[in-house]
Each structure stands twice: as structure tokens, then as C-alpha cells.
Amino acid sequence: MSAQIISGKDISAEIRSELAERVAALARDHGVVPGLATVLVGEDPASEMYVGMKNRAAGALGIHSRQITLPAGTPEEELLGLVVGLNADPDIHGILVQLPLPDRIDEAKVIESIHPSKDVDGFHPISVGRLATDSGAFFAPCTPAGVIEMLLRSGHDPAGKHVVVAGRSNIVGRPLASLLLRKSRGGNATVTVCHSRTPDLGAVTRTAEILVVAIGRPEMVTADMVAPGAVVIDVGTHRVDDPSSERGYRVCGDVLFDEVKEVASALSPSPGGVGPMTITMLLSNTVESASRSVVGR
């Protein structure tokens, strides 16, 4: 058996096509152009690359993208003041402060300064609380939201299934478990959360009908840890040394792909799986924020 490949790249393209139509409709019917502000502090190459990718993706959909780059030595109070200004800007519907920030800046304080209505990253404590209690309007963190879309759009609705989430981070594992438990689209699953310190991790992962791996260790999940016929979503992305490659490295996920594809019924690759979905869901949240602003007028 060789698994169905769940392509985040293809599903992302499908969603972006839908978003482009929504963006055009907002402009045509309401004169509103969704606006995304990205704030970058310092010159970290990886952060610069990520912000650039987000801005290019936004522009391709007709979303107004405003990048604000601040020197690494920017005082915390100046950054907080900038966020307050973006909160009040009617042309900005989503605010993303790229993490990590310099050590002397309190990340939690900055995240909490973003108004929940513009928290398109889904990290504000109010957003987290509303997700956990399945109440009120909120934006789900982008990677977990992308996992849900990948499952639904590939024909693997989690409803009624036993889903094992391997990983307990505040960015992926915990919010994903909350999304899966909700009484709504993409939810109604029975959820088990495990992690790298779970005794006999494989004994837990083998119980999954759907296994989502976000454990943060390269190729940790092997074929003997997956039940035959399970659906597997690999959230991990790692660059590992590979002398046989021209680049001297290769990119892999948390799942040993070549082994697990012979056991699973469906499997997302890494790269090309969850990665493209994260930016797409950021754009989706921004468009949804703009739509809510129209309703609230």
C-alpha cells in the first residue's frame, strides 16, 4: 500500500483562489481592501524571509500589505506604541508581529497589545480563551487551522474519529486539540494529546485513526508507530545534514516519510504539506477580519 499524498500546496492554491474572489467582492461591494500589517524588528534572515513570503502572498490576492521594519535596538515602548496605532488604523484588518523578538522585548506584552479583532495570528490570550471555550469570535492560529482544512478538503473529516495529536506547543498542539473538539466544522473528534515525554509514545500514536505530528524532532515517527490505514499529517519542518545532497542538507518532517507512506492510507509531505497552509490561513484570517469590519459598520 502507498498512501494518498495530501498536498498542502494544492489545497493552499484552492483556498487562495477562493480568497481572491472574496477580496474582489469586498472591494466591489463595499469599497474595502483587506489590509495586513507585518512588523519586523531586527534583521534576522529567517524572519525577513518569512515576512517577505507573507507580503508577496498577500499582494498576489489583492490584499494591501504594509511591512514595517524596525531596528533591532527599537525600545519596547516604541513597538507597543506602533501596535496601538495599527489597532486604530481602519485600513489595517490584521496585525502580525514577526517572532521571535529581541530578548529584551517582552513577547507576551506585545502580543497582548494587538486588538483581538486584528489578531490574525490567533495568539492573543482572548483568542486562545475563546478557542478553548468554543465561544465568541476569534481567529484560530494559522498552522492548526491549516491542518483542519487539509483534512477536510482531502476527504478526511475528523468528526467521529479518534485523532492523536503528538505535540503540546501553544502554537500547534494545544490549539489544534481545541479545534478538533469544537462542535463545528472540522471538530467533533475524540482527541488524545501526547508528546515527546509520553512513555511508549508509539503505543499511543498507533491508536490514531488520524495522527497529527507536531513534536519537533526530525523523522521521529516511524512506520511501527502508525496504525495501518491511518491518516497522517506531518507538521514538522527540519533541515538536516545530508552529504549526498548537492546542498549538503535535505528538508524533512517529524515523520519518516518513505516508511510511513507504506503503512498510512494518506500522508502529508514535508516540505509541501502544512507549510504552505500556514501563510494561506493568515491571509484567510485577514480577509475574514475585513469582512467582519463591514458587518460591524
* pLDDT tens-place string over residues 217-238: 999 999 999 999 999 999 999 9
Buried b (16+ CB within 10 A) or exposed e, 252-273: bbbbbbebbbebbbbbbbbebb
Q: Name the active-site residue from 118, 119, 121, 261.
A: 121
109 given a catalytic annotation? no
The three grid cell numbers given for residue 296, joined into one nine-digit string: 460591524
pLDDT score recorded for residue 247: 87
Lowest mean pLDDT among 31-40, 233-242, 288-297: 288-297
pLDDT at 296 over 80: no
4 given a catalytic annotation? no
Q: Is domain 142-275 annotated with CATH 3.90.1150.10? A: no
pLDDT at 277 over 80: yes
Q: Is the Cβ–Cβ distance between 277 and 146 less than 8 Å?
A: yes
Stated pTM of the model? 0.94
Within the chain, all domains assigned CATH 3.40.50.10860 are found at 31-115
Mean pLDDT value across residues 31-37? 97
| Cell 469586498, residue located | 26
Mean pLDDT value across residues 116-137? 95
Mean pLDDT value across residues 120-135? 95
Q: Homologous superfamily of 31-115 in CATH?
A: Leucine Dehydrogenase, chain A, domain 1 (3.40.50.10860)
CA separation for the pair 134, 141 (Å, rounded):
14
The CA–CA distances, whole Å, from 242 to 127, 249, 269 equal 40, 4, 18
Within the chain, all domains assigned CATH 3.40.50.720 are found at 142-275
Q: Is the Cβ–Cβ distance between 195 and 166 less than 8 Å?
A: yes
pLDDT at 43 over 90: no
Residue 86 has φ and ψ, to the nearest 5°, of -70, -35
pLDDT at 45 over 90: no
Q: Name the active-site residue from 4, 44, 67, 98.
A: 98
121 given a catalytic annotation? yes
| Length, in residues, of the chain | 297
Q: Name the active-site residue from 54, 118, 161, 261.
A: 54
Distance of CA 290 to the CA centre of its chain: 19
